[in-house]
């Protein structure tokens, strides 16, 4: 079991907040980490992974050198920046039409039935509440950068976010992880997202080499209102652990949820995606499509479920997961699910696990292309279609394709 870096009672919070955190911590202790008896955690043993990478403490002590650390990185001038340093909110750009506050200013939530949520409630050091005001349309994305330094090595850092996209507003959120230390650390993030009527939100999470030293768990609870649209693109590579869980409520007519993802894994990298979409209103749509290429001793898990409530009309729920297994030691687990209680639906699910087409590989080599280049071309052709289908501007699509090309080279 993880140990707290210091007692919760020593935090500079109100007595009521301290009590709620202590109750959540006790609930987490009583529950323990989820284990393989829990279907959603069947292929990810979090206790074993934390032990393997020596994650032993929950960070609760604030750093004193935040300004010095911030000076070591360059803020992205093409985006609106929010930066965390070892859990603490360190920098926020002023954004017209957007209100941003530190989550520590909010009263923590009551304890949950979910162990990681209780762990998060008990010990989050920071996070943000973001409100994008009605009719605001951001022309630049908001990028949330999580910076982990030597001060969070071998520790779990918790973040808690609330995002409200008001009526007919539009925004895009990106995330970026930077690890400056030379050992492992972990991040546990809980995000509550409320997309109001007619609003649009895009959320993109890409990969970089820093994730080799990070174990990331992120649970997103989404509420999508009438005529609202939420789209996410997930790209996983390198990570010691990247586990993302979407819990989506399509609560009103014409609500739409789209999720696209690519994982390109090798060595001991691990990606674990869970998407649970509840269609609770007529004329709602969901489309979940992930593709993966897994080699080395890497592991990938995909689980998507669409639930359609009783008495609904004009439901569209699609799920698709296609995989290429590059080595016999790679592990791929895929499980799309449908639970349908209405008749007027268009629902489909499919999953495949295969190998590279050896005839195509031979053909390319016979034309003078070496094996590594030929392998890269086949992999790129297999996965890049999902990027071209995204609702993003041309420069963003090109940057994502460039990033993908680098991940593929790492594979071969």
Give tens-digit pLDDT for 321-365. Answer: 999 999 999 999 999 999 999 999 999 999 999 999 999 988 899
Q: SS3 for the chain, per residue? A: CCEECCCHHHCCCCHHHHHHHHHHHHHHHHHCCCCCCCHHHCCCCHHHHHHHCCCCEECCCCCCCHHHHHCCCCCCCCCEEEEEECCEEEEECCCCCEEEEEHHHCCCCCCCCCHHHHHHHHHEEECEEEEECCCCECCCCEEEEEEECHHHCCEEEEEEEEEEECCCCEEEEEEEEEECCCCCEEEEEEEEEEECCCCEEEEEECCCHHHHHEEEEEEEEEEECCCCEEEEEEEECCCCEEEEEEEEEECCCCCEEEEEEEEEECCCCEEEEEEEEEECCCCCEEEEEEEEEECCCCEEEEEEEEEECCCCCCEEEEEEEEEEECCCCCEEEEEEEEEECCCCEEEEEEEEEECCCHHHHHHHHHCCCCHHHHHHHHHHHHHCHHHHCCCCCHHHHHHHHHHHHHHHHHHC
Q: Given pLDDT bands bounded at 50, 70 and 90, which one contains residue 179? A: very high
Contact 115/33 with Cβ under 8 angstroms?
A: yes
| Mean of all residue pLDDT scores within the chain | 95
Are the C-beta atoms of residues 44 and 241 closer than 8 Å to each other?
A: yes
Report the pLDDT averaged over residues 22-43.
92
Report residue 148's pLDDT band, with 50, 70 and 90 as the boundaries.
Answer: very high
**Tokens matching residue 73:** 């990185």
Q: How confident is the model at residue 106 (pLDDT cuts 50, 70, 90)?
A: confident
212 confidence band (pLDDT: 50, 70, 90): very high
The confidence score (pLDDT) of residue 74 equals 86
- Rounded mean pLDDT of 20-49? 93
When pLDDT is cut at 50, 70 and 90, the band that residue 125 belongs to is very high
CB under 8 Å to 274, separation ≥6 — which residues? 40, 243, 244, 245, 246, 301, 303, 304
- At 116, the pLDDT band (50, 70, 90 cuts) reads very high
Give pLDDT, residue 152: 94
More confident residue, 412 or 287: 287
Q: Tell me, what's the pLDDT at 70?
A: 87
| pLDDT for the residue numbered 73 | 84
**Looking at residue 110, what is its pLDDT?**
73
Neighbours of 155 (CB within 10 A): 25
Residue 25 pLDDT? 96
Percentage of the chain beyond pLDDT 70 is 100
Q: Is the pLDDT of residue 109 over 80?
A: no
pLDDT at 128 over 90: yes
User: Cα dihedral sign for 264, 406, 214, 163?
Assistant: negative
Measured CA to CA, the distance from residue 350 to residue 337 in angstroms comes to: 9
Residue 113 has pLDDT above 90, yes or no: no
Q: How far apart are CA 187 and CA 179, in angstroms?
A: 11
Sorting pLDDT into bands at 50, 70 and 90, what band is 79? very high
pLDDT the model gives residue 95: 97
Q: For 382-399, what is the mean pLDDT?
A: 94
Predicted local distance difference test score (pLDDT) of residue 181: 79
HSE toward the beta carbon, residue 336, CA cutoff 13 A: 17
Q: Give the per-residue pLDDT at 64.
A: 78
pTM: 0.96
Q: Is the confidence at residue 19, as pLDDT, over 80?
A: yes
pLDDT at 363: 85
The angle, 0 to 180 degrees and rounded to 10, between the axes of the packed helices 115-123 and 15-31 is 150
pLDDT in tens, 217-230: 999 999 999 999 99
Interior/surface letters 204-234, b for 16+ CB within 10 angstroms, e for the rest: bbbbbebbbbbbbbbbbbbbbbbbbbbbbbb
Q: Please state the φ and ψ torsions of residue 367, each to the nearest 5 degrees.
A: -100, 15
């Amino acid at each position: 079991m993880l140990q707290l870096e210091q007692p919760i009672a020593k935090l500079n919070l109100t007595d009521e907040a301290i009590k709620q955190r202590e109750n959540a911590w006790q609930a987490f202790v009583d529950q323990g980490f989820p284990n393989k008896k829990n279907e959603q955690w069947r292929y990810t043993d979090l206790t074993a992974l934390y032990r393997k990478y020596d994650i032993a403490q929950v960070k609760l002590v604030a750093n004193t050198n935040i300004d010095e650390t911030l000076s070591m990185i360059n803020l992205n001038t093409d985006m609106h920046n929010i930066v965390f340093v070892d859990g603490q909110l360190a920098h926020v750009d002023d954004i017209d039409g957007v209100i941003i506050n530190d989550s520590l200013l909010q009263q923590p939530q009551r304890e949950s039935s979910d162990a990681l949520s209780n762990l998060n409630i008990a010990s989050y050091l920071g996070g943000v509440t973001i409100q994008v005001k009605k009719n605001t349309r951001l022309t630049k994305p908001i990028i949330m950068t999580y910076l982990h330094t030597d001060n969070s090595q071998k520790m779990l850092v918790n973040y808690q976010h609330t995002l409200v996209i008001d009526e007919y507003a539009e925004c895009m959120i990106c995330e970026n992880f930077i690890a400056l230390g030379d050992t492992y650390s972990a991040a546990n993030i809980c995000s509550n997202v409320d997309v109001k009527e007619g609003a649009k939100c895009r959320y993109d999470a890409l990969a970089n080499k820093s994730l080799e030293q990070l174990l990331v768990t992120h649970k997103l609870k989404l509420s999508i209102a009438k005529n609202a649209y939420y789209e996410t693109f997930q790209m996983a590579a390198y990570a010691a652990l990247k586990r993302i869980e979407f819990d989506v409520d399509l609560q009103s007519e014409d609500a739409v949820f789209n999720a696209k993802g690519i994982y390109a894994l090798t060595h001991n990298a691990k990606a674990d995606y869970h998407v649970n979409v509840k269609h609770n209103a007529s004329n709602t749509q969901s489309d979940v499509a992930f593709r993966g290429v897994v080699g080395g001793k890497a592991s990938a898990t995909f689980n998507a479920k669409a639930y359609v409530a009783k008495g609904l009309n004009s439901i569209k729920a699609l799920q698709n997961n296609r995989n290429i297994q590059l080595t016999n030691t790679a592990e791929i687990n895929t499980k799309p699910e449908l639970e349908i209680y209405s008749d007027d639906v268009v629902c489909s699910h499919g999953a495949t696990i295969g190998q590279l087409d050896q005839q195509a590989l031979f053909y390319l080599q016979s034309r003078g292309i070496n094996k590594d280049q030929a392998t890269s071309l086949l992999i790129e052709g297999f996965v890049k279609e999902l990027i071209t289908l995204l609702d993003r501007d041309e420069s963003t699509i090109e940057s994502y394709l460039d990033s993908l090309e680098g991940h593929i080279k790492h594979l071969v």
